Amino acid sequence: MTEAIRIEGLHKSFGDLEVLRGLNLQVDDHEVVCLIGASGSGKSTLLRCIDLLEPVDAGRIWIEGDEVTAAGVDPNAVRRRIGIVFQAFNLFPHMTVMRNVTLAQEKALDRSSAEARAKATELLTRFGLSDKADDYPDRLSGGQQQRVAIARALALDPDVMLLDEVTSALDPVLVAEVLDAIRELAGAGMTMVIATHEMGFARDVAHRVAFLEDGRILEQGAPEQMFTGPREAATRTFLDRIIAAGRM
Amino acid sequence: MSEPEVFSPMGTPGLDPRFPRGDRRSKILGGGSARTTWVAVLSTVVFFTVAGLLIVRSTGWPEVRQSFFDAEEFRYAFPEIVQKFGWNVFIFCVAEVLVLALALLIAVLRSLPGPVFAPLRILAAGYTDIFRGVPTILVIAMFGFGMPALQLKGLPNSDLVWAILSLTLVYSAYVAEVYRAGIESIHPSQVAAARSLGLTRGQALRHVVLPQAVRRVIPPLLNDFIGLQKDSALIAFLGFTEALQRARIIQANDFNFTPYVALALIYLCITIPQTRLVDWLIARERTKRQGGAEL
């Protein structure tokens, strides 16, 4: 198996707040890794650093063997290889669903508009949105918007997908349709790093679960092992709280 | 729908039964039941009758009527002034197009991030400070009298050119601030989403930030344009014969101020529809936002 992502000694602070403190992580091709941990443990920051949306303070990141934190790397070229989906969807409200999915294909990948539309149509159909292509995002439910956001990221044929708590802003009845879309992606062999609070989903879809605490990965392992017999006391405390909150 | 259908004290248009959607007149008259409408009509009639009588029965009224509201003078002056008002229309139309472009450039310069662009940001900020801080008529005087006085080869000598340039410079400073407010009102997550798709900073600005920002600032931008249209009269200061200058000449010849009233009416004919348009755009934006928030 080849390595999709490799992270060594990642440090990131916001002012005095040290969010990531020497984090290491490897993700193999076609692997699905779920990041779990309390809010503020650094999950989102980690994903944003991988996509170079936040400049890292120290440490190195490789994507498919290429170091992206090296000097002289074009961050735009890196971001084209990585798809990221945000908690708040962040669709472009002044564009139709179709345009949301074709814009970056045309502007960042120089695809022809016919090519971009074909790709978008294929993806929207795959996620059950083919009848929404000409609607504006505010006509769509949260679950539909988030599926458009996933399609928009996938349209650039990324090597890896980063999902940042993509169901946290959704009405509970809409969570399932988004999780199903992600399951389908995992089944198709997409490499994914997923920050999530949906423990049942993590257990179900992840090949590996990593528990973040204090800006490091405290413990990681197969979902069964992590959820039934975590080694670290902190992991146990976190999972107990999640169970008490009825989230598992 | 999250809003209660019965009573909303903030007067949500379309939801509050007291204010049927888009019915401005009933809102001004207090809106709603037949009784409140009658009270509104009655108090309005009484107020304007009393005010009118006070004016008409004042000692100076006959003289004022003669020098400001002379029908014959009006019939003569009105077409003369309308004809010259064509210059004002030309001046503000050209200036508005130039303002749209120059103001956008200044706003974008001022929004550039990073230490490298500090000089451009300072230039843009200085520009807006200076031209918003000086009376428009002084800018017109300085450019209109000063530039031709330099007698530099290649510089145009026309009052018209310098007047248009002055108005453009002044109003670009105001409109740049309007644009900038629009740019800053776009949530940073929109830029993050655009950049995450591999778009460059410029592409994110051009395709994601500016289209949304410009749409949001259309009403305040039109307000500034109404100001610009009125200030096109300041060009009379340079002696250029546009509508105000023409009115002034007629007034001086005939010792009668009716031409000024005529010009005021011409201005109202173009500004009031625009003001209504701005109101309508703002109201539409508000209902659209509330509609969008329902999901």
Overall average pLDDT of the B25-52 stretch = 83
Overall average pLDDT of the A76-84 stretch = 94
Provide the pairing of β-strand A216-221 with A208-213.
antiparallel
> Does B197 contact A103 at a Cβ distance shorter than 8 Å?
yes
* Spatial separation of the C-alpha atoms in residues B18 and B292, rounded to whole Å: 23
Q: Look at the alpha carbons of B183, B186, B190, B192 in this order and tell me if their dihedral is positive or negative.
A: positive
Assign residue A153 a region: left if phi > 0, alpha if psi is -120 to 50, beta otherwise?
A: alpha
> Does A108 contact B215 at a Cβ distance shorter than 8 Å?
no
Mutation pick from B197, B206, B209 vs chain A, by most beta carbons of A within 10 Å, is: B197
Overall average pLDDT of the A64-82 stretch = 92
| CATH number of domain containing A231 | 3.40.50.300
Contact in structure between A214 and A38 (CB atoms under 8 Å):
no
Q: For B133-152, how does the pLDDT look when each residue is reduced to its tens digit (9 = 90+)?
A: 999 999 999 988 888 888 77
User: What does the pLDDT read at residue A91?
Assistant: 96
Q: For A121-151, how does the pLDDT look when each residue is reduced to its tens digit (9 = 90+)?
A: 999 999 999 999 999 999 999 999 999 999 9
Q: Whole domain around residue A184: which residue ranges? A: 3-91+160-244
User: What does the pLDDT read at residue A246?
Assistant: 72
- Residue A109 belongs to a domain: no
C-alpha distance from residue B285 to each of A86, A95, B289 (Å) = 27, 17, 6
State yes or no: pLDDT of B119 exceeds 70.
yes
List of chain A residues whose C-beta atoms are within 8 Å of the C-beta of residue B218: none
Name the band, by pLDDT with cuts 50, 70 and 90, for residue B17: very low
Whether A14 has its CB under 8 Å from any CB of chain B: the answer is no
> Does A152 contact B194 at a Cβ distance shorter than 8 Å?
no
**Residue A18: Cβ within 10 Å count:** 15
> Does B197 contact A109 at a Cβ distance shorter than 8 Å?
no
> Does A142 contact B295 at a Cβ distance shorter than 8 Å?
yes
Q: For A101-110, how does the pLDDT look when each residue is reduced to its tens digit (9 = 90+)?
A: 999 999 999 9
State if pTM tops 0.90.
no
Nearest-CB residue to B196 (from A51, A93, A103) = A51
List of chain B residues whose C-beta atoms are within 8 Å of the C-beta of residue A153: 196-197
- Residue A123 belongs to a domain: no
Whether B198 has its CB under 8 Å from any CB of chain A: the answer is yes
**Residue B41: Cβ within 10 Å count:** 12
Mention every residue, 6+ apart, whose C-beta is less than 8 A from residue B233.
B88, B242, B243, B244, B263
User: What does the pLDDT read at residue A248?
Assistant: 64
What number is the ipTM of this complex?
A: 0.91
**Residue B115: Cβ within 10 Å count:** 6
Domain count, chain A: 1
Whether B185 has its CB under 8 Å from any CB of chain A: the answer is no
- Residue A98 belongs to a domain: no
Lowest mean pLDDT among A200-204, B123-127, B162-166, B291-295: B291-295
SS3 B194: helix
> Does B198 contact A76 at a Cβ distance shorter than 8 Å?
yes
List of chain B residues whose C-beta atoms are within 8 Å of the C-beta of residue A77: 198
Higher pLDDT, B100 or B19: B100
- Residue A27 belongs to a domain: yes
> Does B212 contact A84 at a Cβ distance shorter than 8 Å?
no
- DSSP H/E element including B4: none
* Spatial separation of the C-alpha atoms in residues A98 and B87, rounded to whole Å: 46
Phi, psi of A78 (to 5 degrees): -65, -45
Nearest-CB residue to A88 (from B189, B196, B291) = B189
Q: For B60-90, how does the pLDDT look when each residue is reduced to its tens digit (9 = 90+)?
A: 998 988 889 988 999 999 999 999 999 999 9
Whether B230 has its CB under 8 Å from any CB of chain A: the answer is no
- Residue A115 belongs to a domain: no
Q: What is the mean pLDDT of chain B?
A: 86
User: What does the pLDDT read at residue B187?
Assistant: 94
Contact in structure between A237 and A41 (CB atoms under 8 Å):
no
Mutation pick from B2, B185, B191, B196 vs chain A, by most beta carbons of A within 10 Å, is: B196
Whether B210 has its CB under 8 Å from any CB of chain A: the answer is no
Whether A2 has its CB under 8 Å from any CB of chain B: the answer is no
For chain B, list the domains and their CATH numbers: 1-64 (no CATH), 78-293 (1.10.3720.10)
Nearest chain B Cα distance for residue A207, angstroms: 25
- Residue A227 belongs to a domain: yes
- Residue A188 belongs to a domain: yes
* Spatial separation of the C-alpha atoms in residues A182 and A52, rounded to whole Å: 23
- Residue A21 belongs to a domain: yes
